[in-house]
Structure 1
Amino acid sequence: MENKKTGASACLNKPRYGEGHIFIWCENYCRRILYIDILYVEASRSYCEFHLIDGSRVTLSWRMRIVEQILPTDTFIRVHQSFILNWHYVDSYVGNSARIGEQWFPLGRVYRSRLLDVLHFPQISRLNSKMKL
């Protein structure tokens, strides 16, 4: 944008757009949150807290069941009674835990196999590596 009086141009923060987003009421306004900006959702009783990639959090009075139905299944996966992860950000998986950044998440017994399917966990390569030892 250029200032007509001085002729100087200013760099504006252009909004980011993605294929998928959700609008969430935050205080007195409605905020667009891109799916790619959501790292994980954490439940606490009848509230859910969206943890975003920029480190901010948005708390809503929604139950986890509602959030699970709203978020797309091709990006988000429920891994525990209290957590829904954006599986694109899962860095590692060990036993009954998954990690995004420095945060570890427990995997519920019911949800574990689905996460392994989504992560395309190569069972054959695990068997081959054990045989080589």
Structure 2
Amino acid sequence: MKASNECLYPTDVFLVSCGMGCKRITVSDIAYIEAMKDNCVIHMIDGKRYTQSCPMGDIEPELNPNMFKRIHRSFIVNIRYIDMYYYGHVVLENGMEVHIGDKYREDLKSSFHFWGSRNRNK
């Protein structure tokens, strides 16, 4: 258990495996993370990708849940880069479209304030 004055998300950078060493990445520059078998691919907003040999479950607890939401068993997205939400899908700023899994839909919807149509959040 963390002490009450200890920050749960103390850093805005991660070190990720990259070739023969490690690369420092800024967490807020992560657009989304994709699970692929036993690996995770971290997709950055600049288009770079970093493949890590670990399951999604190892990365997810390290991410701030106010910034990152799991929307599918294979995807965690940075909600800052969601450009559009519609009919059970999100479109990211880079054009990537991801289906929202049924069990993740309510948590994602609670992260946003919907204006306009009352039926928009189907």
Q: Provide the TM-score with structure 2 as the length reference.
A: 0.82
Q: Report sequence identity in percent.
A: 34
Q: Letter of the aligned partner of 1:38 in structure 2?
A: I
Q: What is the aligned counterpart of 1:112 among 92, 105, 117?
A: 105
1:87-126 to 2 correspondence within 5 Å?
A: 87-101=79-93, 102-122=95-115, 125-126=116-117
Deviant stretches of 4+, over 3 Å: none
Cα distance between partner residues in 2 of 1:43 and 1:127: 33
In structure 2, the gaps of 5 or more residues are 1-10
Q: Any idea what SS the aligned residue of 1:72 has? A: coil
Per the alignment, residue 78 of structure 1 pairs with 70
The more displaced of 27-36 and 41-50 is: 27-36
Alignment of 1:1-133 (within 5 A): 20-101=12-93, 102-122=95-115, 125-127=116-118
Computed over aligned residues only, the root mean square deviation of the Cα atoms, in angstroms, reads 1.8
Cα distance in 2 between the residues matched to 1:26 and 1:128:
45
TM-score (norm 1): 0.76
Work out which of the two has the higher radius of gyration on C-alpha atoms and give 1 or 2.
Answer: 1
Residue deviations 1:39-93 (CA, integer Å, cap 9, x gap) = 0000011100001111110001110111111111121100000000000010000
User: Aligned equivalents of 1:65 and 1:34: distance in 2?
Assistant: 20
Partners of 1:77 and 1:22 in 2: how far apart?
18
Structure-2 change in CA distance of 1:95 and 1:57 (3 Å): same
Offset, 1:128: 9.4
Q: Is the 2:17–2:50 contact (alpha carbons within 8 Å) kept by the matching residues of 1?
A: no
Alpha carbons of 1:38 and 1:128: their partners in 2 closer, same or farther (altered >3 Å)? closer
Comparing both chains, which one has the higher relative contact order based on Cα–Cα distances under 8 Å and sequence gaps of 6 or more? 2
Greater percentage in strand: 2
Q: Which protein has the bigger helix share?
A: 1
**Any stretches of 5+ residues in structure 1 without a counterpart?**
1-18
Total equivalences in the alignment: 109
